Amino acid sequence: MHRLKTLSLTTLVSAFVGVLLIALTPQAALADKPHLYGSNAWTNNAGILLGGPGTNYPQAGAVDGKVRVLVDRCTGRWCQIRAGRQAGWFPLRQLDFGQTPGWDGPRFHSPFRAPGQVCFFSGTNFTGKRFCVASGTYVSDLALLNRDNQVRSIQLNGNSSALVCRDFNLTNYCVRIVRDKKYLPEGLGGAVSSFRVY
């Protein structure tokens, strides 16, 4: 009988520790936030991966050119990326956040328009939570407003336009919005972190 109680207690403690370890893993903590797993990008050229954001860090691996990678986060000039089993920091200027390789950054052919108002919606087809801002508004980090990675459709009112970007401070993949968008392009819907309204 004593052995049965010891076995049951051991089993219970082991199960509790196992559940606790699973619950505390980063993947479990981020499971309900898929956008935090990384943004798609392509490398413009082959290069080395570094152990930190700068040339003072040791080499951590290498990556081929024109390959798809996942970007975990970026600083001013560097992004932490994953390419297969390789991971490390890579120069931001050597990454392409377009839909296919070869795209070399924002090209805004539409004139900037103003004044007006732009409304951002958490759902597609102008549904869900809404917030509107006037021309001239610049938000460098939507996380400060508890609205990061929530915009899925945008409605323009008056003679307005907007620049929306996947990362804070108008960096990484950006798109000019010059007409109402019932849904945002792939890679941007539910991933907007900064914007400027014109």
- What CATH number does residue 42 fall under? 2.30.30.40
Confidence band of 9 (pLDDT split at 50, 70, 90): low
Please give the model's pTM, rounded to 2 decimal places: 0.50
Is residue 184, in this structure, part of any structural domain at all?
A: yes
Distance, CA of 95 to CA of 67 (rounded, Å): 10
| Same-domain status, 124 and 88 | no
Give, for 118, the enclosing helix (H) or strand (E): strand 116-123
For 114-144, b/e burial (b = at least 16 CB within 10 A) is eebebbbbbeeebeeeeeebebeeebeebee
Instruction: Tell me what pLDDT residue 10 has.
Output: 61
Rounded to whole angstroms, how far apart are CA atoms 4 and 77?
61
Question: Binning pLDDT at 50, 70 and 90, where does residue 95 land?
Answer: confident
Asked if the structure places residue 61 within a domain, the reply is: yes
Under the banding of pLDDT at 50, 70 and 90, the label for residue 194 is very high
| CB atoms near residue 61 (< 10 Å) | 17
CA distance 42 to 68: 4
Q: Please indicate, yes or no, if residue 128 is contained in any of the structural domains.
A: yes
Number of domains observed in the structure of the chain: 2
Q: Are 77 and 88 in contact (CB under 8 A)?
A: no
- Looking at the fold, whether 187 and 159 belong to one and the same domain comes out as yes
Residue 6 forms part of a structural domain: no
Rounded CA gap, 45 and 58, in Å? 20
d(CA 149, CA 144): 12
Q: Taking 80 as the threshold, does the pLDDT of residue 13 lie above it?
A: no
What is the model's pLDDT at position 16? 56
Q: What is the mean pLDDT of residues 142-161?
A: 93
In a domain, 9, yes or no: no
- Of residues 10 and 160, which shows the higher confidence score? 160
Q: Per-residue pLDDT for 5 more than 60? A: no
CA atoms of 116 and 53, how far apart (whole Å): 39
Q: Are residues 76 and 134 in the same domain?
A: no
Q: Among 96, 131, 149, give the residue marking a domain's end.
A: 96
Could you tell me if 90 and 159 lie in one domain?
Answer: no
CB contact at 8 A, 43 and 94:
yes
Task: Determine, yes or no, domain membership for 105.
Answer: no
| Highest mean predicted confidence (pLDDT) among 76-80, 88-92, 119-123 | 119-123
Q: Is residue 109 part of a domain?
A: no
Q: Mean pLDDT of all residues in the chain? A: 79
**Boundary residue ending a domain (96, 124, 149):** 96
Determine the pLDDT at residue 127. 97
Residue 29 covered by a domain: no
Domain that holds residue 41: 34-96
Residue 69 in tokens = 């990678």
Q: How far is CA 37 from CA 31, 69, 107, 147, in A?
A: 9, 12, 27, 18
Is 53 in the same domain as 92? Answer: yes
- 86 in the same domain as 43: yes
